[in-house]
């Protein structure tokens, strides 16, 4: 199975704080997650090195016209925040299950969103 990891999942994974291991499969992250991870104000140099090394092990997905169009459609239909719609659109386009630590995606249950511990 393919999985799109949200920012909190990556942070908890890198910090060894997930209650359960990541499932077997292929992982991707959105460019938004990469930006969020690297823009944390209190990021140490050591933390930055760990974060920069992690995407080398997974695919980082950029913004395409197809993702933009789906994001717009989701914002209109599900009334999601822009970033949530962008992550959901990316997951849909790449046929992935979203692993996340937050519940704000409850409007998208039909799009294979999996809350994670």
CA distance 22 to 31: 20
How many Cα atoms within 13 Å fall on the side-chain side of residue 4?
Answer: 27
Backbone angles phi, psi at 79, to 5 degrees: 55, 45
pLDDT, residue 70, reads: 93
Q: Is the pLDDT confidence value at 114 over 50?
A: no
The CATH number corresponding to 2-115 among 3.40.50.1010, 2.70.70.10, 3.10.180.10, 3.40.50.1820 equals 3.40.50.1010
- Residue range 5-55, pLDDT digits in tens: 988 888 888 888 888 888 888 999 999 989 999 998 998 999 888 888 886
Indicate whether 62 pLDDT > 90. yes
Q: Residue 115: pLDDT above 60?
A: no
Classify residue 95 by its DSSP letter.
T
Residue-range domain boundaries for the chain: 2-115
Instruction: Give the per-residue pLDDT at 107.
Output: 42
């Amino acid at each position: 199975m393919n999985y799109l990891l949200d920012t909190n999942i990556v942070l908890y994974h890198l910090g060894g704080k997930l209650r359960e291991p990541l499932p077997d499969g292929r992982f991707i992250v959105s460019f938004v997650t990469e930006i969020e991870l690297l823009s944390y104000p209190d990021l140490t140099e050591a933390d930055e090195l760990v974060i920069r090394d992690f995407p080398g092990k997974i695919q980082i997905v950029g913004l395409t016209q197809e993702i933009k169009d789906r994001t717009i459609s989701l914002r209109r239909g599900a009334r999601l925040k822009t970033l949530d719609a962008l992550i959901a659109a990316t997951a849909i386009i790449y046929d992935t299950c979203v692993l996340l630590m937050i519940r704000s995606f409850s409007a998208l249950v039909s799009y294979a969103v999996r809350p994670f511990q």
